[in-house]
Amino acid sequence: MVLERSGLLVILSSPSGAGKSTLARRLMDWDPELRFSVSATTRKPRPGEVEGEHYYFRSTEQFRAMVADGEMLEHAEVFGNFYGTPRGPVEAAMRAGRDTLFDVDWQGGQQIRASSLGKHVVSIFVLPPSLTELERRLVSRGQDAPDVIATRMQKSRNEISHWAEYDYVIVNDDLDRSAETLITILKAERQRRDRQVGLGPFVRALMEEESA
**Taking Cα atoms as reference points, which of 110, 69, 113 lies closest to residue 88?**
69
Alpha carbons 27 and 136: distance in angstroms, whole number:
25
pLDDT in tens, 138-155: 888 777 788 888 888 888
Mean pLDDT of 38-54: 92
Alpha carbons 20 and 162: distance in angstroms, whole number:
16
Higher-confidence residue: 150 or 8? 8
Q: pLDDT over 70 for what percent of the chain?
A: 99
pLDDT band (50, 70, 90) for residue 161: very high
Q: Which CATH number fits domain 9-196: 3.40.50.10540, 3.40.50.300, 1.10.260.40, 3.40.50.720?
A: 3.40.50.300
**Taking Cα atoms as reference points, which of 50, 53, 21, 48 lies closest to residue 37?**
53
Q: What confidence score (pLDDT) does residue 166 get?
A: 97
Mean pLDDT of 66-76: 94
Q: Are 165 and 59 in contact (CB under 8 A)?
A: no
Q: Would you list the domain boundaries of the chain?
A: 9-196
- Averaged pLDDT of the chain: 91
Q: What confidence score (pLDDT) does residue 24 get?
A: 95
User: Highest-confidence range of 58-62, 128-132, 155-159, by mean pLDDT?
Assistant: 58-62
Q: Are 136 and 180 in contact (CB under 8 A)?
A: no
pLDDT band (50, 70, 90) for residue 211: low
Q: What confidence score (pLDDT) does residue 26 get?
A: 96
Q: What confidence score (pLDDT) does residue 73 get?
A: 93
